[in-house]
A = this chain, B = another copy of it.
Amino acid sequence: MSRPTPLQVDDDELALLTDLYQLTMTQAYWKEAMHEVATFSLFFRRLPPQRRFMLACGQQHAAEVASRLRFTDGALARLASVDHFESGFLDWLANWRFEGDIWTLPEGTPVFANEPLLEVDAPIAQAQLLESLVMNLVQLETVLASKAVRIVMAARGRPVVDFGMRRMHGVDAAVRGVRAYRTAGLAGTSNVLGGLRHDLALNGTMAHSYVLAHDSEREAFRDFARYYPDTTLLVDTHDTLAGVRLAIELMRDAPELRIGAIRLDSGDLGELAKGARALLDEAGHEDIRIVASSGLDEQAIEALLADGAPIDAFGVGTQMGVAADAPVIDLSYKLVEYAGTPRVKHSTGKINLPGRKQVFRRRDATGHFRGDIIAGRDEAIEAATPLLMPSVKGGRPVPEAMALADTARERVARALTRLPATLRRLDHGESGYPVALSAALQRRVARD
């Protein structure tokens, strides 16, 4: 490239992060003086077969971003270079603000097919313009957190650390992914900027290149352990168990060296962990932990632990970083009401739920989730908790609601103890979790 390609998206450009038709439709609404209030609903029609639930993530962040979206002079100048837009419309965009309401599930809420993660009530030219950006923001975190939480469950309390930055889809995925991982319950990340920005512990070990650059593995281990007390040594550069023996010798010869853990990154991780554990224990190093990495996902971790592999922590990258088995969900942002009238697209074989809605969750006496009811926004459902709450009101973030994003990690941890056992299974299959429509909503569906 003759000129540098920027990596960042400036605030000047945020409003241009949209599909062209959002702008052409908005101009049409402006020309037609269609200023009535619309409600759009963000939901997915079906769970991927590889997921028994999704964690709704990113929606409160998306609401906050929407509340501060502006068309700056810079953005308008660039739009003026695109065909289609009249100067009167661009002038109007200069004063465009989101002044409506955004209802969201608190971040980290387990969510099922057809349940709104977010609903927007605003003049249609405001609500329409949020679609592409809100979907992109929610998609990423929801997909990543929903994969990561399965890995956290598979690890049964052992720490899971994100090693995925290098294989994730670009810079924003890598950095914002850490926000989703924090919500899902990961213990740490190797990603420096991601961890610093999203308040997740930084972890790191060493790479094979460090060992290879030294004249011997012994020298590499000795120097690294000297610089970083309690560090993790990567023992599989040449021969894994020989690497373990070397670490043990090193500690014998230089008792001042403290090694916290060893990492296995290739081969049969279960067998090597057993072999390494035996060697370490025999040498009196019961306190040295074993970290495993290399192509791990929830199935691999479940199998290793079922087989009794003495692994204390997992580093997970590739499979989690792109949610490889279900990298996308079929999110929709659909108009469900305009000018006070429920609206809906009729499609063969698809349910579309007209009007403003609320999701109610029933719990039993011990707090376990028993089932959900999707209802009209203003319904009251006995013995059930409404989940959608206003995160933005009249264009302004609601501080108490926004603060719930900070407790997403705790919410997920609590939810994991309250999900029915079938939802916590890691194999593929129907969740069987009951999601019903309220009687009033059923009547509305039948009427439309």
Contact = CB atoms under 8 A, between A and B. Distances in A.
A109 interface: no
Contact of A136 (B23, B165, B266, B345): B165
Interface string A236-260: 0110000000000000000000000
Interface stretch (A168-176, A362-370, A372-380, A431-439): A168-176
Interface in A173-212: 173-177, 179, 190-193, 195-198, 202-210, 212
B328 A7 contact: no
B135 A16 contact: no
A204 B330 contact: no
A198 B294 CA distance: 35
A203 B425 CA distance: 43
Categorize the interface residue count of chain A: 35 or more
Contacts of A78: 196
Contacts of A319: 328
B238 A192 contact: no
Given A165-B19, A237-B345, A140 B170 contact: yes
Contacts of A22: 207
Interface in A317-336: 318-319, 321-324, 327-328, 330-331, 333-335
A216 interface: no
B191 A223 contact: no
Contact of A21 (B10, B198, B206, B328): B206
A17 interface: yes
A82 interface: yes
Given A21-B190, A28-B210, 18 more contacts: A4-B64, A4-B65, A7-B14, A9-B172, A23-B204, A24-B204, A24-B206, A24-B228, A78-B196, A82-B196, A168-B169, A170-B176, A209-B334, A212-B338, A213-B343, A267-B348, A318-B328, A327-B327
21 contacts: A4-B65, A5-B179, A5-B197, A7-B9, A7-B176, A9-B172, A19-B166, A19-B204, A38-B209, A38-B213, A79-B192, A81-B196, A82-B192, A136-B165, A136-B166, A136-B170, A137-B171, A170-B173, A212-B344, A318-B328, A318-B330
Interface of A: 1-2, 4-11, 13-14, 16-25, 27-29, 31-32, 34, 38, 40, 60-61, 64-65, 68, 78-79, 81-82, 84, 124, 128, 131-132, 135-137, 139-140, 143-144, 163, 165-177, 179, 190-193, 195-198, 202-210, 212-213, 223-224, 227-228, 237-238, 266-267, 318-319, 321-324, 327-328, 330-331, 333-335, 338, 343-348, 399, 402-403, 405-406
